Structure 1
Amino acid sequence: MQIQDLPYADPGVPDIRSGPRFLFWLGRSQLGGQVKSLLWGLLHHLGIAGLPLGTGIAVQAVVDRDGGRLALAGGLLAVLGAAIAIGDVMLHRTAVTNWITAAARVQQLLSRKTAELGSVLTRRVAAGEVVAVSTGDVEKIGWFVEALSRFAAGAVALVVICVGLTVYQPALGVVVAVGVPVLALAVLPLLPRATRRADVQREKAGKATELASDTVAGLRVLRGIGGEDLFLGRYRAASQEVRKAAVHSARMWALISAVQVVLPGVLLIVVVAYGTRLALDGRITVGELVTVYSAVALTYHPLRNFEEIAMAYSFSRPSAKRAARVLALTRTTTATAAGGEERAATGDLYDPLTGLLAPAGRLTAVVCGDPDVAGRLADRLGGHPAEPGADHTSVLLGGVPLDELPLESARTAVLVQDKDPVLLSGTLRDLLDVPSSGAVPAADALTAAQCDDVLDALAQASVDTGGYPMRTRITERGRSLSGGQRQRLALARSLVADPEVLVLDEPTSAVDAHTESRVAAGVRELRKARTTVVLASSPLLLDRADRVVLVHEGQAVAVGTHRELLATEPRYRAVVTRETDEELATAVGLADELEALEGETA
């Protein structure tokens, strides 16, 4: 896989049972790139390892005044220099390619999972963690995949050096063969502590990122209540905690680096001292001593790869664990229909868990009383269990479980608009350019959602579009718009999509009563042949619905029109008219007395 071939046509099915398994799967998925990097790394390291041999031959040739051997040594050094240069360049190219392709694979997997889960993702995983996984964690995972082949090349080079020196000069080679493994493994006792400190640093950095994300998202509200200084102080404190943790972690890695410098120096001193004695005794030549000395000195370069792979694994393991946890999230836990064959996606929408029924082609309003319960119910109706441990009984559309439909078919059939919809940056035309049936023009959707004032504001705010609102750019998350304007533009986007079933969670909570009434009428008219479910408690919306369902304590307990339920159902009246608990108890008591009197009369 080359960089120009990205993105992957299919990033594959990852092994997400654990962080290390996910890292192993990534390395195995690009085995060809790892082998290329390993081979170029061997050429580079073995070229470096061969320099002492050429140097030793040259020194001994000078001592023996042998011009032929000196020329041979010069030619050997030239060949080794070319091998080092070519190997270094190609090792860098292939290693960086491995890093970029691994990072791209992880990002594609995360994007695919985000598209699958939609808005449910941030309900299961904190927003700061999502940001950390998709940015910093991807980079650390790619670093480990990149370092893996360099480490393998360095390890093989060290084995070759030790074996070669043992054969070339057994007396000194045995000392090197014993000392090099000690050097390579000396840092292992320090790694657990370094890893723990790095984990603490990442945890604090994730919390600081989440705090920053929440602060930016709510900046307008914070300024309105004068709370920006409070949150700025909190972020400063969190930032200082991250700095202290980073310094604490860096000290341990500095110690590991120091060990990697000191111990090779000690081995070099031992080899020189012992080799000098052997040379004075005439057991080895000066050239052999220079060769062994140079080889030991050059082992420092491949030994650095041991420190790098330890650091890369220490940083990437928790990153891979977080990525695997996100990738393990599923839309539902029920098995998808065999082969994912197309199933009919039309008809009544029915939730067996709550008993809620939304007849096809009608506007059904649902009253829950608790906004959180309404949000979870909206997610269920869209085929998403709101909580990992919640009941995963599938919602039925025309008698077909939503989680037995292929994801694309389910998304086309049922669209859920969250109570706090997100507007991506871009022009208004881009915002409304969504997959749709093509039956609802953008102009009709904007009219039904009562966006005339929004269009006027966009036209006036634009200085380079000739006053044409459809070409006006909307800032990130629609921050330049009011809450009501964002809600109505999101509603227009949902209406343009024209799904078989549209689920709206509090679609007018941020607009005034007059606009809310007109929005209700516009949605009813535009969706008169489609199934629409509105979770709300506003009388203006409820009065426009064909039928209203009261969901109390997780069950649909009453069905009727808005006016019928106001007259006959005290619990419904308490939610819609905001009655107090005392007033509700009085109303329930009166209802019970009337029922008892009617029974006695009968």
Structure 2
Amino acid sequence: MRICDLPHPDPGVPDVRTGGRFLVWLCRKQRGGHAKALFWGLVHMAAMASFPLPVGLAVQAAVDGHGARLVLAGGLLAVLGGLVAVGDIMLHRAAVTNWIVTVARMQQLLARKTSELGGAMTRRVAAGEIVAVSTGDLEHIGWFVETLSRFGAALVASVGVCLALVVYQPQLGLVVALGTPLLALAVLPLLPPATRRADAQREKAGRATELASDTVAGLRVLRGIGGEDLFLGRYRSASQEVRRAAVRSARMWSLISAVQVALPGLLLIAVVWHGVGLALDGRITVGELVTIYGAVSFLLYPLRHFEEMTMSWSFSRPAAERTARVLALSRPAGGRLTDPEPPSGDLHDPVSGLTARAGRLTAVVCGDPDAAGRLAERLGGHPPHQDPDPESTGAAPATPAATGPDSGEAESPRPLSVVLGGTPLDDVPRGTARTAVLVQDKDPVLLSGTLGELLDVPASGRVTNEAALDAAQCGDVLAALAQASADDSGDPMHTHITERGRSLSGGQRQRLALARSLVADPEVLVLDEPTSAVDAHTEARVADGLREIRAGRTTVLLTSSPLLLDRADHVVFLQEGKVAGEAPHRELLHTHPEYRAVVAREPDPAPATPHTTDRTVIEETA
């Protein structure tokens, strides 16, 4: 594939069972590019390896005073020089094309995986690891793919030169043929410690990147509490650890480079010393000695490719493992049903026992915020702790013969799926499931762009932008954006919003994200703490607007706010991930002490687990 043909029409289904299998899959997808690079690499290497022959011929012709042979040697040198230049140019083009095409394929795979998982991706993989995979790891894998064809050409050329030397001058040829493999393998004992140091460096760099991204995302909060210096000190310490790890890694690779230079130099000295003795004895001519010296000198060039190959392999192997782990994350992409119409009806979660009635506003109270996040993930069709499915990993699906009762191995149970209107979300195509159920995370992301672009989302058309903004109480946000409009028109829809909405307060970001979700107008809308950063007066108006605009639609609120709970049609209380009570808000307050303790921040009269006790202390302290 050529660079001008990117992006790939279909990046394919990768084999992500292991990092090694993933690398093999990438190389197989780039077979044509590797064959082209290998061909031009052989042209380049063969021409360079042939240079000593006309050089030796020219030296011997000068010694013998043979003009015709000297002209012939000059012509051969000119032809070989042209082949070296053409082969080097085309090899570089083919190898870099392999690099770019492979990286583009992985970028498309990661983009597809991000689209598939949505907000659940950052719950399963740390943000720092995602950043490391999408930047440095892709470059390391691309480097390995680019180096592979050049290494293959260098290996073939080295074997060919050694065999030619054995035929041309058996005594010196055997010394070279035996010494070259030993030189190539001499660095193998140094590779494990070098790899460990490189892994430690990448791990520390990932932690520093995650710390930096978290600090930038929470910069407004840090400034408010005066914590900038604290986090700056933490990042400075983390960056110094990365620097020290990088220096330790560079020292080991410098040692490997020194070995790759010193040992071939010793071989060259030994060959020349022995060859001079043979020439003085008259057993070989001066031209033959020059030819052998040139051939041995050429072998130093492929050995540098061997060193580069070992470095790229040591860097790409852990990078491929991390990339494979990210690409192995999956949710059911759509199974047995092909009905394009999204299902409708009651929403039921079999794990917790929660049922949200169709067309009603259901509020869910969880004593544990993490449990609320897991519930929101399940309601969006992302079963937690799910093994990668065979289709996404490239693995063959298990057959009854392999997992049946006669095999002695129990088939792994299928994760419980949320059911909408009697239809499991796992059984409908992913796009259809997302049309039916929309989940707004606790910390929604606002992409950079104008307000009009932010609200330009796939929607039913029933809710206008103005109605959604009004229901989300975004009047003050619109006024602020109107003053900052880029075209002086005063139209807030044309105002640019910075990345992640960092120019807005937390409450303003929440309300704009809520308006975006309301514009989409899905059959089922799941909101995880949509007003946690909003003041009480605005929160009450948001609750009334939400109830009005979502009339007749199924809405699930994960919250502990009394203002939102009081306006819900039905309230469900979860304890330890299971339904512990359900009734209207005021009734639960009077009949359920544990519910009242969570909502009213009262001490729990029941014996508390250590986790609950820690949470109560934190809330009371706050």
Query: Would the TM-score normalized by the shorter structure come out above 0.5?
Result: yes
Q: Given that residues 432 and 493 in structure 1 are in contact (C-alpha distance below 8 angstroms), is that contact kept between their aligned partners in structure 2? A: yes
Quote the offset at 1:495 in angstroms. Answer: 0.8
Any residues of structure 2 matched to 1:550-565 within 5 Å, and which? 550-565=573-588
Partner residue in 2 for 1:22: 22
Question: Corresponding residue for 2:522?
Answer: 499
Note if contact 1:16-1:324 (Cα within 8 Å) is conserved in structure 2. yes
Q: Give the 3 Å change call, closer, same or farther, for CA 537–337 of structure 1 in structure 2.
A: same
Within a 5 Å distance, the mapping from 1:275-286 to structure 2 comes to 275-286=275-286
Residue 416 of structure 1: aligned partner: 439
Amino acid at match of 2:138: V
| CA distance in structure 1 between the aligned counterparts of 2:124 and 2:3, rounded to whole angstroms | 33
Q: Deviations over 1:164-218 (max 9, x none)?
A: 1122222221211111111111111111111111111111111111111111111
Contact 1:437–1:498 under 8 Å retained in 2? yes
Supply the distance in 1 between the matched residues of 2:290 and 2:203 (Cα, whole angstroms).
50
Q: 1:575 aligned to 2:598? A: yes
CA-atom RMSD in angstroms: 1.8
Partner-residue secondary structure (3-state), 2:574: strand
Greater shift, 12-21 or 499-508, is seen at: 12-21
1:115-130 to structure 2, matched below 5 A, reads 115-130=115-130
Q: Quick one: structure 1 residues 210 and 73, their matched pair in 2 at CA, closer, same or farther if it must change by over 3 Å?
A: same
Q: Using structure 1 for the length normalisation, give the TM-score.
A: 0.94
Residue 557 of structure 2 corresponds to which residue in structure 1?
534
Alignment equivalent of 2:378, drawn from 377, 380, 387: 380
8 A Cα contact 1:50 1:80, kept in partner: yes
**Quick one: which amino acid aligns to residue 351 of structure 1?**
D
Moved more, 465-474 or 85-94: 465-474
Cα contact 2:342–2:433 (8 A) shared by 1:
no
Q: Aligned equivalents of 2:261 and 2:380: distance in 1?
A: 59
- The residue type equivalent to 2:520 in the other structure is A
Query: Structure 1 stretch 485-494 or stretch 97-106: which is displaced more?
Result: 97-106
Tell me how far apart the structure 1 counterparts of residues 283 and 461 of structure 2 sit (CA, whole Å).
Answer: 90
Which stretch shifts more, 424-433 or 561-570? 561-570
Change in 2 beyond 3 A, CA 1:210/1:337: same
1:445–1:584 CA distance, 2 compared to 1 (3 A): farther
State the secondary structure of the residue aligned to 1:534. Answer: strand
Residues 343, 405 of structure 1: 8 Å contact kept: no
Quote the Cα distance in structure 1 between the aligned partners of 2:514 and 2:385.
26
Further displaced range: 191-200 or 59-68: 59-68
- Give SS of 1:581's match: coil
* 1:339 to partner: Cα distance: 7.6
Distance 2:384 2:369 in 1: 13
Counterpart of 2:95 in structure 1 is 95
* Aligned AA (2:453): D
Aligned with 1:299: secondary structure? helix
Match of 2:352 in 1: 354
1:367 corresponding residue in structure 2 = 365
Distance change in 2, residues 1:273/1:339 (3 Å): farther
Task: Tell me the amino acid that sits aligned with residue 29 of structure 1.
Answer: K
8 A Cα contact 1:8 1:105, kept in partner: yes
Report what 1:259 is aligned to.
259
Aligned residue number for residue 436 of structure 1: 459
Contact 2:594–2:606 at 8 Å: present in 1 too? Answer: no
Aligned AA (1:211): L
2:74: which partner in 1?
A: 74
Counterpart of 1:510 (choices 510, 517, 533) is 533
The alignment partner of 1:550 has SS state of strand
1:97 aligned partner, one-letter code: T
Question: 2: CA distance between counterparts of 1:131 and 1:40?
Answer: 35
Matched, 1:487 2:510: yes
Q: Which amino acid aligns with 1:275?
A: G
CA–CA distance in structure 2, aligned partners of residues 340 and 91 of structure 1: 48
For 1:79 and 1:438, locate their aligned partners in 2 and report how far apart those are by CA, in whole Å. 71
1-structure distance, mates of 2:158, 2:142: 25
Deviations, residues 476-516 of structure 1 (Å, cap 9, x unaligned): 11111011100000001111111111000111111112211
Which segment is superposed worse, 158-167 or 381-390?
Answer: 381-390
Equivalent residues in 2 for 1:54-73, closer than 5 Å: 54-73=54-73
Contact 2:208 2:238 in 1 (8 A): yes
Q: Who is 1:595 aligned against?
A: none
- 1-side partners of 2:339 and 2:8: how far apart? 25
Work out whether residues 570 and 584 of structure 1, in 8 Å CA contact, stay in contact via their aligned partners in 2: no
**Contact 2:342-2:432 within 8 A present in 1 as well:** no
Distance 1:81 1:501 in 2: 70
2:158 maps to what in 1? 158
Quote the offset at 1:350 in angstroms.
0.6
SS in 1 for 2:213: helix
**Is 1:35 aligned with 2:58?**
no
Q: How far did residue 584 of structure 1 move? A: 11
Residue type of the alignment partner of 1:558: G
Q: Structure 2 CA distance, aligned partners of 1:272 and 1:481?
A: 74
| 1:337-378 per-position Cα deviation (integer Å, ceiling 9, x unaligned) | 248664752111011111111111221111223222212111
Measured after TM superposition, the shift of residue 40 of structure 1 is 0.7
**In the alignment, residue 352 of structure 2 is paired with which amino acid?**
T
Residue type of the partner of 1:565?
L
Query: Aligned pair in 2 of structure 1 residues 583, 512: CA closer, same or farther (>3 Å)?
Result: farther
CA distance in structure 1 between the aligned counterparts of 2:157 and 2:210, rounded to whole angstroms:
44
What is residue 174 of structure 2 aligned with on the other side? 174
Any conservation in 2 of the 1:343–1:400 contact (CA below 8 Å)?
no
- Once the two structures are superposed, what CA deviation does each residue of 1:209-233 show, in whole Å capped at 9, x if it has no partner? 1111111111111111111111111
**Distance in 2 (alpha carbons) for counterparts of 1:583 and 1:338:** 46
Tell me which residue corresponds to 1:106: 106
Equivalence for 2:207:
207
AA aligned opposite 1:178: L
Does residue 1:232 correspond to 2:255, yes or no?
A: no
In structure 2, the residue corresponding to 1:529 is in which secondary structure? coil
Say if 2:49 and 2:295, in contact at 8 Å, map to a contact too: yes
Measured in 2, the distance between the counterparts of 1:105 and 1:465 equals 43
SS in 1 for 2:581: strand
Q: Which amino acid aligns with 2:56?
A: G
Which residue in 1 is equivalent to 2:149? 149
CA–CA distance in structure 1, aligned partners of residues 88 and 329 of structure 2 = 41
State the distance in 2 between where 1:522 and 1:296 align: 82
Displacement after TM superposition at 1:583 (Å): 9.8
Give CA deviations for 1:453-489 in whole Å, capped at 9, x if unaligned: 1010111123434221111111111111011100000
- Following the alignment from structure 1 to structure 2, what is the Cα–Cα distance between the partners of residues 221 and 102? 40
CA distance in 1, matches of 2:450, 2:334: 37
Deviates more, 1:107-116 or 1:365-374: 365-374
Residues 593 and 604 in structure 2, CA contact (< 8 A), matched pair in contact too: no
User: Which whole-Å deviations, capped at 9, do the CAs of 1:29-51 have from their partners, x for residues lacking one?
Assistant: 10110111111111111111011
Question: How far does the alpha carbon of each residue in 1:406-434 deviate from its partner, in whole angstroms, 9 at most, with x for none?
Answer: 11111111110011111111111111111
Partners of 2:138 and 2:173 lie apart in 1 by 42
- For residues 160 and 465 of structure 1, the distance between their equivalents in structure 2, rounded to whole angstroms, comes to 73
- Deviations 1:497-555 (CA, angstroms, capped at 9, x unpaired): 11111000111111112211211121122111211111112222122222221222222
Q: Is the 8 A contact 1:124 1:388 kept in 2?
A: no
Read off the aligned partner of 2:380 and give its amino acid letter.
G
Q: Distance in 1 between matches of 2:607 and 2:251?
A: 64
Q: 1:76 to 1:583 in 2, by over 3 A?
A: closer
> Residues 357-401 of structure 1: CA distance to partner in whole angstroms, max 9, x if unpaired?
111122111122322221211111111234559993111011111
Kindly provide the amino acid, as one letter, of the partner of residue 429 in structure 1: G
Contact 2:486-2:496 at 8 Å conserved across structures: no
Tell me, in whole angstroms, the C-alpha distance in 2 between the residues paired with 1:253 and 1:432. Answer: 52
Bigger mean CA deviation after superposition, 273-282 or 77-86: 273-282
**Secondary structure at the residue paired with 1:434?**
coil
Shift of 1:256: 0.7
